[in-house]
Structure 1
Amino acid sequence: MGQQDQRNLFLAIVLSLAILLGFQFFLPQEPPLEVPQTSEQTAGQAGTAPSAIPGAGVSPSAPSIPGAPDAANITAAQSRGDVLASAARVAIETPKLKGSISLTGGRLDDLVLTQLRETLEEGSPNIVLLSPFGTPTPYFADFGWLNTGTTVAMPDSTTVWTADRNSLTPQQSVTLRWDNGQGLQFEKTFEVDENYLFTIHQRVVNNSDKPFSASPYGLINRTGTPETLGFYILHEGLVGVLNENLQEIDYSDVLEAEKGTISETSNGGWLGITDKYWGTALIPDQSVTINTRFYSQSSGGTEKYQTDYLYKDGLVAAPGSSVETTNSLFAGAKVVSQIDGYEERLGVKFFDKIVDFGWFYYITKPLFYALHWLNEKIGNFGVAILVLTVFIKLIFFPLANKSYKAMAKMRKLQPEMLELRERFGDDKQRLNQEMMALYKREGANPMSGCLPIIVQIPVFFALYKVMFVTIEMRQAPFFGWIKDLSAPDPTSIINGFGLFPWDAPELGVLNVINLGVWPLIMGITMFLQQRLNPQPPDPVQAKIFLFMPIMFTFLLATFPAGLVIYWAWNNTLSIIQQAVIMKRAGVPIGNKPAKT
């Protein structure tokens, strides 16, 4: 093998390793779920929230939109139950949500995802998405009107509304009303679907003798920086699509922004806050121009974040008439098919990007839907991965077949290559010339072995994304000990590969020694496949090749089990395909010398 070809081959190997090592560097081990703090631990946090997010003089898109109630009389965080019981509420009851709307402030601030639990353990609590002000980590949404230039009384965070019903269901809307005593009646009508979409109709009836002008707004407010995974390929934080451009803003980015504000005027669009598997998003009327803002404030050791929008042009209600507007709020699990349905139904472009499909979006999303469709037919995501792998192999079959034939030819030429090395080992230039002449005469390509690996890299990344970010894969079982395809194989040498009744311990950066059964299977299949490839005549390269299966076994030990299963199964199919081609080409399988 010529020096240039050796360098190219070595570079391809190093590139593949660097990519996987990069995963390990940028993807630290997922931390355990954060234990909620007690009232004593969080005393004073709730009392630091702003009474109104400052905006006057900040920027045209940063009005004084109410952010949270006045905290002057709140001295310590309270339990969720105590806060919920302290004010009248309208219950929310849907197949997937349970919560309430506070009549004080008219805010949507209590939401639990009833079909999702924190862990697979029996009795694990449901996921709490929204929490009212006064709890350790308030998180709520609000909609209202901003009136400037007049002294008309407007509803705020302390306003007590009246409701026409006690509960909000997919079959029954709820209307909140408040009269300002100056001839204006404000109304908020909430609707909710079977999944995670709220529709909010706001109306102002003007019974006064003067015109009323105001701009509708929507906001999502969150107190406290949540525990994030800190993974380079996963965005958790403030997010939106404004003017058809994706905005992914980390919590730290908005804290460091000038005056804690990132603002933009947009024609339609959406904005919100996202966690890994669930999130919230404001979806204004797509025909309206809005001033948007990602905002943060830090005081008393606690950070507050808000995403909000304000209609650029105010709406006017003449005396004896009314004015109204309709906007939407997504609050729940990021189920891809439902997200796509909302995108089409509401005409909001790129709403599907609330799911972080990443750079390989045009591979990742079709790959997800292929897996999703197969799972619907088969009933097991793990088996769907195996079937999808077969389809992927069929798609790349012509390319892989050509590559494996070239590799078989290289394997057949190994005796001649070794002979040339013995003859011209001391004359590198002559050895290179003779090697190139041999390749040309026999029509061999020394880089052919790298091609299948390089072709698989985008698919590998895309499948990793599917495993990592889609909630459909969360806690999806396979068979046996694999109860969650999105989590690493739980077996380990330390627990006797599942024979002993304890979990593998978390070892931080040393967690790679928790080798499970599937990573070992993957390593064995990689080693067997490697033995079918032509061995590099250079001793250093040969040692690198020999070490690769061991390195990949440890690297993939902390990857999602579904991805490791895919890799092992893909290797197995490649071994079968390559062995058949080698047999037909008359090349011996294993380390036997080729017949000359």
Structure 2
Amino acid sequence: MSENRNMFIAIALSLVILLGWQFYFGMPEAERQAQQQAQQVNAAGQAAHEVSAAPTPAPAGSPDGVPQPGQGSTLPGVPMTRAQALALSPRVAIDTTRLHGSVALKGGRVDDLLLMEYHETVDPSSPNITLLSPSGAPNPFYAEFGWAAAAGNPVKLPGPDTVWTAEDGAKLTDRTPLVLNWDNGEGLVFRRTYAVDDYYMFTVKDEVVNSSGNPVTLYPYALVSRHGVPHVEGFYILHEGLIGVIGENGLQEIGYSDVEPGTPQGFSGNVGGWLGITDKYWAATVIPDQAQKFDAKFSTVMRGSKPTFQADYLAAPVTVGPGETVHSKSQLFAGAKVVQVVDGYQSTYNIDRFDLLIDWGWFYFITKPLFLVIDWIYRLVGNFGVAILVVTVLLKIIFFPLANKSYASMAKMKAVQPELTAIRERYADDKVKQQQAMMEMYKKEKINPVAGCLPILIQIPVFFALYKVLFVTIEMRHAPFFGWIRDLSAPDPTTIFNLFGLIPWDPSAVPVLGAYLMLGAWPIIMGITMWVQMKLNPAPTDPTQQTIFNWMPVIFTFMLAHFAAGLVIYWAWNNALSVAQQSVIMKRHGVKIELWDNVKGMFRKKKPTA
């Protein structure tokens, strides 16, 4: 009975993981390839410049609104490189330890940003990550701030084509702000001050000085815009696209394919929150004054065959009387989603649920604490791989009482195997009496027949939480372990099919089967430890069950070869600790460890029962 239950549970767990792999990896990969093909087709017949769009008409008394997605300078000519697009506007440099780039004086946009601490590959000489790019570049992605007027109000406002002025030699650093000025020639002077800290937070102060004889009512706005669908990971456990926490509406996660062109998703009368566009490791979000009301919107429009996505907000109106000066403050986060930095901004600026910018998932209460423990240990040992090993030991200690009872029950089960075999033979033709006799024996010996499954069940939530940590946190990106593992968030790069690099041949290049030939050293170590752990248990008497259990380590070995190396290392180490713990408990209960006998049993032909 216990063997049947264990078998069914093992099969169920295998199916869950196999189906999960197909759902989270296979299907998204196919969709991603289709998406990339569609993008290539779209890009082939499209110029890199953007066409100006007219603002959406607004009812009388309401603001003309935030500029629509894609609205900006008309850039005539042929497709441009990023450098050519940057050269279309005079610029003021951004120069901090972690950020390099520039602010465009034409439009006053933050549209040029490189992340100096991060590279495209594990090679430190590879290009830095480009986060923001101007309109006209191959992949425009930028932030814009400004003022909107009430409908029908002819006030002249700065827009995408406005050229602001700055002092000669101005530069935006973490110590020196940047001040831009523009006079509309009709009595209004606009001043914008950019400041940036030593990480990724920009503070934007927009001022209006009214020297005319009439009051003016204006609405502050801010937006993040991205032209075209970027490369995305394509996994269902990770959100990439439009995102925000918008007052009482809470967290909004909208994929690139979920916003219908011309049908914006709006949220009115909000207090507190933020919104923008996120990638796996990077994001750009605009953050309104957390004490002021604002209307938020996610939208997309088509410019030819290319979509333009936008997240924006329109703040409550301000009236500038004659001779008065008013200002509006907002913030822009543009950078890497470092956990400590994001959490720090939430605390420092009291930004509503800003930590949800990192996709911790439904099991937030497990995933984030697990990361914080790993990160704390990392700061002590200096290696995330070692930190994962230490956390595995700590988890073993925490669950030791439960695992101890489980392994003790398994040891008792193994000790009574001869009696179980005798009961099966005695009641071979009467399954009901066979089950009754076995249950009586379990009760007499105080054995829980399903206790052996508890260690596996305990491991599942930890496994998925660690997988999430490795997949979404930038701290794990390009984090080395030892030897050939230079990135714990990526699969083991070696494979046994070229003798771990000794043969100059790349198995991944093989059509169709290439992905299955990437079987690295750590997945093999994991498979061996899993096999040894299973062989500590009594061999199933049923040949079908025995075949399933014999092949299970092989299946898991090939399956986990595509998972992050850090996860495979965790599983192998956890198996090794379980083998040691189970062996000690079995010896303590006087049970012989028949590992070698079970190995020989794999190759021993079973005689059919009468």
Instruction: Identify the TM-score tier after normalising by the shorter chain.
Output: over 0.9
CA distance in 2, matches of 1:187, 1:517: 60
**Counterpart of 1:125?**
127
**Counterpart of 2:253?**
248
Fraction of identical pairs, as percent: 49
Check if 1:116 corresponds to 2:118: yes
Q: Which amino acid aligns with 1:328?
A: Q
RMSD over aligned Cα, in angstroms? Answer: 2.5
Deviates more, 1:110-119 or 1:501-510: 501-510
Distance 1:553 1:220, change over 3 A: same
**Counterpart of 2:79?**
77
Deviates more, 1:115-124 or 1:273-282: 115-124
Query: Are 2:241 and 2:277, in contact at CA under 8 Å, matched by a contact in 1?
Result: yes
Q: Which amino acid aligns with 1:145?
A: W
Query: Are 2:49 and 2:135, in contact at CA under 8 Å, matched by a contact in 1?
Result: no
CA distance in 2, matches of 1:542, 1:61: 73
CA distance in 2, matches of 1:243, 1:493: 53
User: Offset at 1:28?
Assistant: 2.7
Deviates more, 1:139-148 or 1:163-172: 163-172
> After the TM superposition, which residues 585-596 of structure 1 pair with which residues of structure 2 at under 5 Å, given as runs?
585-590=589-594
CA distance in 1, matches of 2:486, 2:503: 17
**Counterpart of 2:136?**
134
Paired residue for 1:527, among 525, 528, 531?
531
> After the TM superposition, which residues 91-490 of structure 1 pair with which residues of structure 2 at under 5 Å, given as runs?
91-121=93-123, 123-149=125-151, 150-164=153-167, 166-243=170-247, 245-255=250-260, 259-311=263-315, 313-490=316-493
Check if 1:24 corresponds to 2:21: yes
User: Offset at 1:77?
Assistant: 2.5
User: Offset at 1:539?
Assistant: 3.5
**Counterpart of 1:15?**
12
Distance 1:267 1:134, change over 3 A: same
- Secondary structure (helix, strand or coil) at the match of 1:276 reads coil
CA distance in 2, matches of 1:61, 1:27: 44
- Secondary structure (helix, strand or coil) at the match of 2:498 reads coil
CA distance in 2, matches of 1:73, 1:383: 52
CA distance in 2, matches of 1:66, 1:307: 10
CA distance in 1, matches of 2:251, 2:64: 20
CA distance in 2, matches of 1:180, 1:270: 30
Q: Which amino acid aligns with 1:15?
A: A
Distance 1:94 1:14, change over 3 A: same
CA displacement, residues 185-213 of structure 1 (integer Å, 9 cap, x when unaligned): 11110001111110101111111111111
User: Offset at 1:592?
Assistant: 7.8
CA displacement, residues 271-298 of structure 1 (integer Å, 9 cap, x when unaligned): 1111111111111110011110111112
CA displacement, residues 449-501 of structure 1 (integer Å, 9 cap, x when unaligned): 11111111111111111111111100111111111111100110233113245
5+ residue gaps, structure 1, are none
CA distance in 1, matches of 2:277, 2:326: 29
User: Offset at 1:23?
Assistant: 3.4
User: Offset at 1:534?
Assistant: 3.5
Query: Are 2:337 and 2:358, in contact at CA under 8 Å, matched by a contact in 1?
Result: yes
User: Offset at 1:317?
Assistant: 1.3
Deviates more, 1:247-256 or 1:100-109: 247-256
Q: Which amino acid aligns with 1:105?
A: G
Query: Are 1:45 and 1:302, in contact at CA under 8 Å, matched by a contact in 2?
Result: no
Normalising by structure 2, what TM-score?
0.91
Query: Are 1:449 and 1:533, in contact at CA under 8 Å, matched by a contact in 2?
Result: no
**Counterpart of 2:90?**
88
CA distance in 2, matches of 1:50, 1:251: 22
CA distance in 2, matches of 1:338, 1:287: 22
Check if 1:494 corresponds to 2:491: no
Deviates more, 1:520-529 or 1:437-446: 437-446
- Secondary structure (helix, strand or coil) at the match of 2:179 reads strand
Normalising by structure 1, what TM-score?
0.93
Q: Which amino acid aligns with 1:468?
A: F
- Secondary structure (helix, strand or coil) at the match of 2:259 reads helix
Aligned length: 585
CA distance in 2, matches of 1:390, 1:363: 17
Distance 1:532 1:568, change over 3 A: same
CA displacement, residues 55-97 of structure 1 (integer Å, 9 cap, x when unaligned): 647xx89934254454555243211111212221010001011
- Secondary structure (helix, strand or coil) at the match of 1:233 reads coil
- Secondary structure (helix, strand or coil) at the match of 1:210 reads coil
User: Offset at 1:423?
Assistant: 1.7
Query: Are 2:107 and 2:161, in contact at CA under 8 Å, matched by a contact in 1?
Result: yes
Distance 1:7 1:588, change over 3 A: closer
> After the TM superposition, which residues 35-54 of structure 1 pair with which residues of structure 2 at under 5 Å, given as runs?
44-52=46-54, 54=56
Query: Are 1:45 and 1:136, in contact at CA under 8 Å, matched by a contact in 2?
Result: no
Question: Greater relative contact order (Cα 8 A, min sep 6): structure 1 or 2?
Answer: 1
CA distance in 2, matches of 1:277, 1:23: 23
CA distance in 2, matches of 1:501, 1:6: 46
Q: Which amino acid aligns with 2:65?
A: P
Query: Are 1:357 and 1:469, in contact at CA under 8 Å, matched by a contact in 2?
Result: yes
Distance 1:186 1:388, change over 3 A: same
Distance 1:263 1:18, change over 3 A: farther
